[in-house]
Structure 1
Amino acid sequence: MTLKLRAAAVTDRGLIRSGNQDSVHTGDWLIAVADGMGGMAAGDLASRIAIETIAPVDRPTPDEELVPALQGVLGEASGRIRAAVEEEPTRHGMGTTLTALLFSATGTSLALAHIGDSRAYLLRDDVFTQVTRDDTFVQLLVDEGVIDAEQARSHPRRAVVTQALQGEPASPAYSTQPPREGDRWLLCSDGLSNVVRSDSLAEALRSYPDRDACARRLVDLALRAGGPDNITVVIADVADVADDAGE
């Protein structure tokens, strides 16, 4: 059995924003979501820089090189963002979140890189789990027991990100794990996770086997909830190549 990643993405500007600062990548080996910040033009640029910089690692990569490959391109993306700010000082403060998943050439390992408040979720054996931890002020409050997760959803400072790719020193989180056939991953910007509850996310992943239809359903849920932010959704399934050959 040889496992591969099969992905689909949908992005929408939402109902309030005049443009879309999210960027997304879906490939044979790499999926990624970036959510720009720092003003419309600067946010667009930062997320685009991040996705364009990491896209070259969308290639067969040995298991032991997954994390180093991601570390290298995230460092490069941060440097390119710093250079863009130095080139035009009005871009000061621009940055982007980034959540990326890189599948190995053998299909026996995957690596996850994360910084900011975009998220990765995993549906495995019908159990739905948030895999990433938000780099936000309210998450710090939750960790310290000051507020609970439900209070965090409506906290007035829930949009305050504690670290992102901004050309400054940062500590992205990296992890690896073996994939399993039947795993379904959801990567998304906070335009989805801030307005759609996790049980509704899980229900959609279970109810819509088609990846495109599932992604569209999740975007629709965010729009029905008011769509106050840009919404980007990636649905990725881990499939046996033999079973997947007909796609």
Structure 2
Amino acid sequence: MNVTIKYAAGSDIGCNRENNEDSAYAGPRLIAVADGMGGYAGGEVASSTVIGSLRSLDAEALPVEELKDALGRAVAEANEKLRIAREERPDLSRMGTTLTAMLWNGTHVALAHIGDSRGYLLRDYELLQMTGDHTMDQLLKAESPHPEEQGGEPSRLSHVLYRVLDGRDDRDPDLQLREARVGDRYLLCSDGLSGVVDAQTIYEVLEAEAEPAGAVARLIELARAGGGPDNITCVVADLLDGDPASGGAPLLVGAAAQ
């Protein structure tokens, strides 16, 4: 069976930032979102470097058994490029970036994730968060012997990341190999969206908007309406019957498009 993805991507500076440190890519076999950090230039360099490095994966389909390893190697290569950039430019010593990326082969998809950008799956009228945030808040909750006693209020540690890509060693992402079904809708986004728009509203938008571009535009609009405290970036992709070669042109948004 031939399977293709129909995709859209968007990125907005938000309401309070002076520059956009997010980057994203969407193509026939690869979608990815990266949320950069580390100062005025550092975040832009980090996210655009990683997204630019991963683009080479958007080529011929790989065998299913190679998908996850290929994506893992590509993330390691991107992290190595950050290491080189940090050595060449001391002003970038604090830069880093999150990454959530998906690589398709027919009805299987590899997922790589590090940081607090997120990946969601809408399937059979249910919204599943496929990724876990690599924040200190979530780490402490996971290690607590009584997680049910954790308070419901957001913690000050909810934005403190303990795993990102920053050119240092031992920056391995979470890797998954998942079954993908025709009819699935996927959302990758930076925390500029997920930190402002709740999961129920995200679900309602993904269900209501027939086209990926409409869903992207509406989600960004809602994040801005909620104050837009950070850059807002998202990719929406639908899995459809069809020839992958019939997909549209690849899209770059955010810092990577500059």
Under TM normalisation by the shorter chain, which class is it?
over 0.9
The unaligned stretches of length 5 or more in structure 1 are none
Percent identity of the aligned residues? 44
AA in 1 matched with 2:235: V
Q: Can you list the C-alpha shifts for 1:98-129, whole angstroms capped at 9, x where unaligned?
A: 0000001xx12110000000000000001101
Partner of 2:52: 52
Partner of 1:34: 34
Distance 1:50 1:38 in 2: 14
Match status 1:178 vs 2:179: yes
Partner of 1:99: 100
Partner of 2:83: 82
Task: For residue 6 of structure 1, report the CA deviation from its aligned partner.
Answer: 1.5
Distance 2:166 2:25 in 1: 20
Partner of 2:131: 132
Partner of 1:234: 235
Q: Which moved more, 1:42-51 or 1:64-73?
A: 64-73
Partner of 1:199: 200
TM (norm. structure 1) is 0.93
Distance 2:172 2:246 in 1: 39
Distance 2:187 2:76 in 1: 24
Q: Is the contact made by 2:33 and 2:117 (CA closer than 8 Å) also made in structure 1?
A: yes
CA distance change for structure 1 residues 51 and 246 in 2, over 3 Å: closer, same or farther?
Answer: closer
TM (norm. structure 2) is 0.90
Q: Is the contact made by 1:141 and 1:147 (CA closer than 8 Å) also made in structure 2?
A: no
Partner of 1:43: 43
Q: Is the contact made by 2:189 and 2:235 (CA closer than 8 Å) also made in structure 1?
A: yes
Secondary structure at the counterpart of residue 158 of structure 1: coil
Q: Is the contact made by 1:97 and 1:165 (CA closer than 8 Å) also made in structure 2?
A: yes
Q: Is the contact made by 1:63 and 1:108 (CA closer than 8 Å) also made in structure 2?
A: no
- Count residues with an aligned counterpart: 241
Task: For residue 142 of structure 1, report the CA deviation from its aligned partner.
Answer: 3.0
Distance 1:186 1:147 in 2: 28
Q: Is the contact made by 2:5 and 2:247 (CA closer than 8 Å) also made in structure 1?
A: no
Q: Can you list the C-alpha shifts for 1:131-160, whole angstroms capped at 9, x where unaligned?
A: 000110111133232635x42xx3222211
Q: Which moved more, 1:168-177 or 1:123-132?
A: 168-177
Distance 2:21 2:90 in 1: 19
Distance 1:68 1:140 in 2: 26
Match status 1:114 vs 2:113: yes
Distance 2:180 2:12 in 1: 29
Partner of 1:147: 150
> Comparing both chains, which one has the higher relative contact order based on Cα–Cα distances under 8 Å and sequence gaps of 6 or more?
2
